[in-house]
Amino acid sequence: MAATTGTYLIRGASILGGEPADLLVRGGVIAETGTGLQAEGATVIDAAGLVALPGMVDVHTHLREPGREDAETVETGTRAAALGGYTAVHAMANSTPVADTAGVVEQVFSLGRAAGWVDVRPVGAVTVGLAGEQLAELGAMADSRARVRMFSDDGICVHDPLLMRRALEYVKAFDGVVAQHAQEPRLTAGAQMNEGEVSAVLGLAGWPAVAEESIIARDVLLAQHVGSRLHVCHVSTAGSVEIIRWAKGRGINVTAEVTPHHLLLTDDLVRSYDSVFKVNPPLRTDADVQALRAGLADGTIDVVGTDHAPHPSEHKECEWAQAAMGMTGLETALSVVQHTMIETGLMTWADFARVTSTAAARIGRLADQGRPLEAGEPANVILVDPAARWTVDPFRMATMGRNSPFKGRKLPGKVVATFFKGHPTVLNGELNTPYAFTDATAAGVA
């Protein structure tokens, strides 16, 4: 069925950081696991010292296409994803036009199939044009070829409480989830950075933690009231972690994500006025960073989402207040999570697999992703060299965005290979070839 996938014998990889074993990849699936496997004609990959993990699933990616192809395209963004160890990404809806119809989500879906680097799962807008006034045709997007399950106005908060309630209720009809960008708009008018000691000195308008926490508190209560599934995007404050922990304790069906940059960086970096550090929600304090790490480790926060947000250089080489918000993240996520969570002893590689793959696939309802590394499972697998050290150079990345806040930092961990549906999209740490979807041309994508 998939003509391009060959046979690969991965020898001696540490499975989820545990005991070494061999993985035989054939016909798009993991055909066999064990030790001392043999396979006629297989390409042998010596994986001694490497960790085998399920392909990563990003619940939060901005691919910018359609509309801002000067910032990123589905092709360049998914190349970056494959290099970063991803086999699936959720493409956020704030494109131009907005992904608020079946037509646009099918276009993005088709572009993803044509590119063939990862599964591209479009996220549908909650409201028409992200305007927060009227529900988009959520059912049509769910029923489309893109089979949308996650809906979000990300970038903008669904702040009208009644509209949020209705959205939460409505998506139950097709097992959907509303992913909320929690930001009370009146409390953040003109906001430029975290409100606190640093903003006071820098004279930049503050983005208070309460603007995030008050929306999350409201939304978990709404989700409880209507019995719906809520996902909270890019949680950034210690208070948010507490509220979500409380909500989960009450049995409310809420999941949450944290970005790699919020696990490492603080608002002290804004003292440089270098807008590469401008992001929404903003970088917070060290106390918040520590609370986010603890929340991710104890399961309060379910997943790591990159919020990969590439911007052309002219949108960053300017005054702080003029600069666009956002950072790239697909090609650094694994390293930052290894640095902040694994090398600190807070998590194991098995935990890593949970927060970057298994739980993310469950939130997005991706049946073929985030699966165990066992015989018969889809071969979405990555091999990671945890001993590697590298210095981040945005100009050597596959993404078109040069706005990496980790520029110049030395980070651990490197993706050596990415298998997507049994096909190596990345080999020896470099892009190989995309997977050839059999329907890619039939999808009508030029």
Partner 1 sequence: MKHLLSTEDLSLANAIRILDTAEEMAAVGDREVKKLPALRGRTVVNLFFEDSTRTRISFEAAAKRLSADVINFAAKGSSVSKGESLKDTAQTLSAMGADAVVIRHWASGAPHRLAATDWIDAAVINAGDGTHEHPTQALLDAFTMRRHWSRLAGTGSEGTDLKGMRVAIAGDVLHSRVARSNVWLLRTLGADVTLVAPPTLLPIGVEKWPCKVSYNMDETLAQGVDAVMMLRVQGERMNASFFPSTREYSRRWGFDDNRLRALDTLGMKDTIIMHPGPMNRGLEISAAAADSPRSTVLAQVRNGVSVRMAALYLLLSGDTREPAATPALAYAGAHSTKESN
Residues that bind partner 1 (CB under 8 A): 192, 195-206, 208, 272-274, 314-315, 317-322
Shortest distance, CB of residue 280 to partner 1, whole angstroms?
Answer: 17
Element (H, E) at 31: strand 29-34
- Using CA atoms, how far apart are residues 348 and 152, in angstroms rounded to an integer? 31
- Which residues, 6+ apart, have CB-to-CB distance to 396 below 8 Å? none
- Edge to edge, what strands does the sheet with 119-122 contain? 56-61, 86-91, 119-122
23 residue type, one letter:
L
Shortest distance, CB of residue 82 to partner 1, whole angstroms?
Answer: 32
Under a CB-based contact definition with an 8 Å cutoff, are residues 277 and 320 in contact? no
- Which residues, 6+ apart, have CB-to-CB distance to 197 below 8 Å? none
How many distinct helices (H) and strands (E) make up the chain? 12, 19
In this complex, which beta carbon is closest to partner 1, that of residue 192 or of residue 356?
192
Residue with token string 């540490």: 14
Shortest distance, CB of residue 370 to partner 1, whole angstroms?
Answer: 40
DSSP, collapsed to helix, strand or coil, labels residue 240 as: helix
In this complex, which beta carbon is closest to partner 1, that of residue 209 or of residue 330?
209
> What are phi and psi for residue 76, nearest 5 degrees?
-70, -40
Q: What tokens does 426 get?
A: 């990345």
Shortest distance, CB of residue 321 to partner 1, whole angstroms?
Answer: 4
> Of 100, 219, 307, 385, which one is the catalytic site residue?
307
In this complex, which beta carbon is closest to partner 1, that of residue 382 or of residue 400?
400
- Using CA atoms, how far apart are residues 265 and 279, in angstroms rounded to an integer? 11
In this complex, which beta carbon is closest to partner 1, that of residue 78 or of residue 199?
199
**410-420/423-427 β-pairing:** antiparallel
In this complex, which beta carbon is closest to partner 1, that of residue 321 or of residue 442?
321
DSSP, collapsed to helix, strand or coil, labels residue 338 as: helix
- Using CA atoms, how far apart are residues 301 and 254, in angstroms rounded to an integer? 10
Of 115, 87, 146, 140, the C-alpha closest to 334 is 87
In this complex, which beta carbon is closest to partner 1, that of residue 175 or of residue 197?
197
Burial class (CB in 10 A: 0-12, 13-18, 19+), 197: exposed
- In the annotation, is 307 catalytic? yes
- Using CA atoms, how far apart are residues 14 and 22, in angstroms rounded to an integer? 9
Shortest distance, CB of residue 187 to partner 1, whole angstroms?
Answer: 12
Shortest distance, CB of residue 391 to partner 1, whole angstroms?
Answer: 21
Shortest distance, CB of residue 76 to partner 1, whole angstroms?
Answer: 22
> What are phi and psi for residue 147, nearest 5 degrees?
45, 55
In this complex, which beta carbon is closest to partner 1, that of residue 240 or of residue 285?
285
Catalytic center residues: 307
